[in-house]
Amino acid sequence: MPWLSAGSLQSLLNPSSPNGLPEDLIAAFLRHVLEALVYLHREGIPHMGIKPGNILIDSNGVAKLADLCFNSSVYESRRRDPGPSPPFAMEVSGTPYWISPEVLKSPTEFPTKSDIWSFAIVAMELAYGRCPVSEIPNSGYLKFRIAKRFQFSDHCRTPPAPEIRCQEMSGEFKNMVGLCLDEDPSKRPSPEQLLLHPFFKKSKGSDFVLGFLKSLPESENPAIAG
């Protein structure tokens, strides 16, 4: 396997960009994630673990999806036995911030469109430096809140610290995320459709991404700075 020397998107958010990443950088990283989802979903495989810590960056500034053990085991089980899905391997009560409402309600189902919900939560986390509703304790109340449509104004109204302010995102970004957070999974766009969304016209090439990574202090990204 290749060595992904730049770490994960989570490592870029904390501590180097606690208030979020620039929008054109977010577009570049998310485009790479969508390209991975195009391949997975065409094979009928849901990732089921999309979050910044599972999006790794190589030395060329390309973001790649990691942590494929769960979905590959589901895929192999389905090939051998197309019957009922195997038990849900991820503990829903653990870190449900990125999990879609339909998976919270039925944790033995594996719809590929649940990845699109998680993708939108990651987009908001990259934009604002924190996961939506992450200030709420991980409890039944959180599961209630995460099953509702997110409002950008609600997300920015109570930042975790007075010095943290939400950056203003473009209308294209908000529209793209809103499409992905439809409570009806069938109405969410596919990865192919999202790649055509106007937001991804902001996406820049690997030289731009590498320039950003190399601009970070060595203590925050020693693999790139070196």
Helix 171-180 / helix 114-128 crossing angle, nearest 10 deg: 150
CB count in 10 Å sphere of residue 17: 18
Question: 155-175: buried (b, 16+ CB within 10 Å) or exposed (e) per residue?
Answer: bbeebeeeeeebeebeebbbe
pTM: 0.77
User: What percentage of the chain's residues is helix, strand, coil (to nearest 5)?
Assistant: 50, 5, 45
Q: Which helix (H) or strand (E) holds 64?
A: strand 63-65
Q: What is the pLDDT of residue 108?
A: 59
Q: Give the separation between CA 21 and CA 23, rounded to whole angstroms.
A: 6
Domains and CATH numbers, the chain: 9-225 (1.10.510.10)
Q: What is the pLDDT of residue 216?
A: 78
| Phi/psi of residue 64, nearest 5 degrees | -135, 145
- Residue-wise pLDDT for 209-224, tens only, equals 888 888 877 655 545 4
Per-residue pLDDT for 136 more than 90?
A: no
Q: Mean pLDDT, the chain, as a whole number? A: 74
